[in-house]
């Protein structure tokens, strides 16, 4: 299990697809993701979730993910399209690079 740190910034009274707002906590990219971008979302390990939520841990958890925590493979360019068919589970299938 892993958790990506973020926040839902919309209030329950004003929540709608049009007004929903999200924020992600990012850190420097690790070696795996650096060729794509210089930052990446903070990914918490299972053991770090409770300390983060309780406030017992703070910025020391805002570090790049361990190299063995993530995997990467080429996927269809269809992932960039929104609307009809954007929830197709084959979007994450590996395609030839």
pLDDT tens digits, residue range 38-73? 999 999 888 998 999 899 999 999 999 998 989 999
Q: Please give the angle made by the CA atoms of 90, 91 and 94, to the nearest 5 degrees.
A: 80
On the question of pLDDT at 8 being above 70, the answer is no
Domain locations in the chain? 2-70
Residue scoring higher pLDDT (96 or 9) = 96
């Amino acid at each position: 299990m892993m958790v990506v740190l973020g926040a839902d910034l919309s209030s329950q009274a004003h929540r709608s697809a049009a007004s929903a707002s999200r924020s992600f906590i990012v850190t420097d990219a690790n070696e795996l993701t650096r060729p794509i971008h210089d930052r990446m979302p903070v990914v918490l390990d299972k053991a770090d979730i409770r300390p983060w939520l309780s406030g017992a841990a703070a910025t020391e958890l805002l570090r790049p993910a361990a190299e063995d925590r993530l995997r990467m493979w080429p996927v269809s360019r269809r992932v960039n399209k929104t609307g009809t068919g954007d929830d197709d589970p084959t979007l994450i299938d590996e395609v030839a690079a």
